[in-house]
Amino acid sequence: MIKIIDIENAEKSDILTRDIKLESGVEAIVSDIIANVKANGDKALREYSLKFDGSCPENLRVTQEEIDSAYENEDKAFIETLETAKKNIWAFHEKQLRSGFRIDEGDGIIAGQKITPIEKVGIYVPGGTASYPSTVLMNAIPAKIAGVKEIIMVTPPDKQGNIPSAILCAAKIAGVDTIIKTGGAQAVAALAYGTESVPKADKIVGPGNVFVATAKRMLFGLVDIDMIAGPSEILVLADGTCNPAYVAADLLSQAEHDKLASAVLVTDSKELAIAVQAEIERQLPLLPREEIARTSIDTNGKIIIASDLEQGVEIANEIAPEHLEVCVDEPFALLDKIKNAGSIFLGKNAPEALGDYLAGPNHTLPTSGTAKFSSPLSVDDFVKKSSYLYYTEEALGKVKDKIVLFANREGLQAHGRSAAIRFEK
């Protein structure tokens, strides 16, 4: 059963603790996988596919025929839903596009910044206990808007060596260029080094389990990554007027993701806290993923009773959740007070699932408290910025002595000389 904590009697550690225990030996396992993929390429990928996925696809690349067949046979209502999601995601992320700038005041100095799309991006899409076409859309669409030239998607196959139809349809709609039947840390390694079938990527994005996250962390520097994503999180900030059934359903929407997921309610109403606790127990047996959700709720779930909503916001800012629902009648009155959250859902009619699938904002979000210093995936993640500088001889002459002075103070005389030499007779 989810525990109830009264803030007046709680230690700070009771509020912040994310009881997540990583499997021992993960780094050593991932290190071996990376080395094997680097040395043996496709051969290693096929061996790991047989070991972890129960299949060994001869052709690691999904063919156009497989994609077209999935699209033609998929439920048309689902295709329409994917198209609606694409439209909303595109409209939201298109607003994030920005151009470079140029400063030229006619004094012989030109300075500026140019923005260039990353050339090749790898997208990791999890498989296993669930299928995530939403992850395809959320990662590929911002990359397309940014102008990424090639998008390579990796995702684990089923025991028959196939990729779920929903994933293939989402990839087709989002404009993914290449789809590879491989998952896990080996897929991340393949994107980082390249193999016979997998193009080498410049950046890898997308969520995954602890092995995927560890591989991304270990390979950062050889390639760029978006973030190290931890288990899913939700914090619901609710007053006493909320429907406890709705609040319980929203908490369970994240608890069903993963046994390590975290679902937290912060409320100023003891009555709501007790009602939500009971409602969670009523709804849990109705879920197909009851075992996963039960473990998440019992291990990492909590209900925190605050003295008022102002204190509730302070608690939310301290926890810095991935998803924050503000379930009050006047949510915009609290919006400016919220400092740390990946994505904010305002009012009583904006469940977190709305953002997961359809509304438009990205669902790839900072977890584990990293919302204190990082942001959701965006178009910015798929571009790079270069500064540029131009000086005429006259303009350089006006500042050369300052360059020499600065360089001498740093003990780097050759720096200063590189400017001064241009004016020696």
Question: Could you give the residue numbers annotated as active site?
Answer: 322-323
Rounded Cα distance, 27 and 345, in Å? 36
Amino acid letter for position 34: I
Place of tokens 């390694």: 189
Q: State the CB neighbour count (10 A cutoff) for residue 382.
A: 25
Longest dimension (CA), the chain: 89
Chain centroid offset of residue 223 CA: 16
| Residue 24: C-alpha distances to residues 27, 135, 300 (Å) | 8, 28, 20
For residue 315, the surrounding DSSP H or E stretch is helix 309-319
How many whole angstroms separate alpha carbon 15 and alpha carbon 98?
39
Give the closest residue to 226 by CA, choosing from 6, 377, 62, 391.
Answer: 377
Report how far residue 343's alpha carbon sits from residue 371's, in angstroms, rounded to the nearest whole number: 9
Give the closest residue to 303 by CA, choosing from 286, 281, 335, 329: 281
Beta strands in 15-145 (DSSP E): 101-104, 109-117, 120-124
User: Token pair for residue 120?
Assistant: 């090749």
Q: Are strands 224-225 and 203-205 parallel, antiparallel or unpaired?
A: parallel
CB 88 within 8 A of CB 360: yes
d(CA 314, CA 339): 9
Q: Which residues of 103-130 are buried (b: 16+ CB within 10 A; e: fewer)?
A: eeeeeebbeeeebebbebbbbbbbbeee
- What is d(CA 341, CA 343) in angstroms, rounded to the nearest whole number? 6
Contacts of 350 (CB under 8 A, 6+ apart): 325
